Chain A
């Protein structure tokens, strides 16, 4: 029973990690890749860590460390992705040519008309 739950959680995590890796390889520009990377971590790493928690119990040595890494990733990863996307926009990495919306640029143009 425990083994089945562990395999199920790890399978869900592996599927999302795989889709995120394919996204990082195939997406057209850096902003889409940042989105895929943060999905890899949130939806891919957390179920895999939950598999370890289920398998070892939340108060064992391994399970408690897995919970700690879970909390750390949840807090830290959106901040890192946001900072990276902001830096990419500020140093002027071009968007994909099919991109339809550039709100900061439109705002800047409206202010400096």
Chain B
């Protein structure tokens, strides 16, 4: 019962990332694209955690953890670069 729920949640979350890719492609300014990328990486983190619980593979947990922390760093670096340029 529970593995079915986990797989359903993983598929639903990664399906939600598809419309965000549209915003990532057409976003008029660069900040729109960064916002969409941040949301996509959050959805990917959730999908990875639920897929790890579904497949009983602990290696995917580390992938999800690193993805969440480094997507934050990516957003912050983009914001800093837009605000002050290189350096």
Q: Which residues of A contact B (CB under 8 A)?
A: 2-3, 6-7, 10, 14, 17-18, 20-22, 24-25, 30, 33-34, 37, 40-41, 45, 48-49, 51-52, 55-56, 61-62, 65-66, 68-69, 72-73, 76-77, 79-80, 83-84, 86-88, 90-91, 93
Contacts and interface: CB of A to CB of B under 8 A. Distances in A.
Interface string B63-83: 011001100100110111011
Contacts of A2: 2
A6 B2 CA distance: 8
Given A66-B49, A80-B38, 4 more contacts: A24-B39, A84-B38, A84-B78, A87-B83
Contact of A10 (B5, B36, B45, B83): B5
Interface of B: 1-2, 5-6, 9, 12-13, 16, 19-20, 22-23, 29, 31-32, 34-36, 38-39, 42-43, 45-46, 49-50, 52-53, 58, 61, 64-65, 68-69, 72, 75-76, 78-80, 82-83
Q: Is the interface of B mostly helix, strand, loop or mixed?
A: helix
B9 A84 contact: no
Given A73-B68, A83-B79, A10 B31 contact: no
B23 A24 contact: yes
A2 B26 CA distance: 42
B9 A48 contact: yes
Contacts of B13: 14, 17, 48
The 10 closest A-B pairs by CB, nearest first: A83-B79, A87-B79, A87-B82, A88-B31, A80-B75, A87-B83, A76-B72, A65-B61, A62-B53, A30-B31
Given A61-B58, A69-B68, A84-B34, A40 B42 contact: yes
Nearest to A40: B39
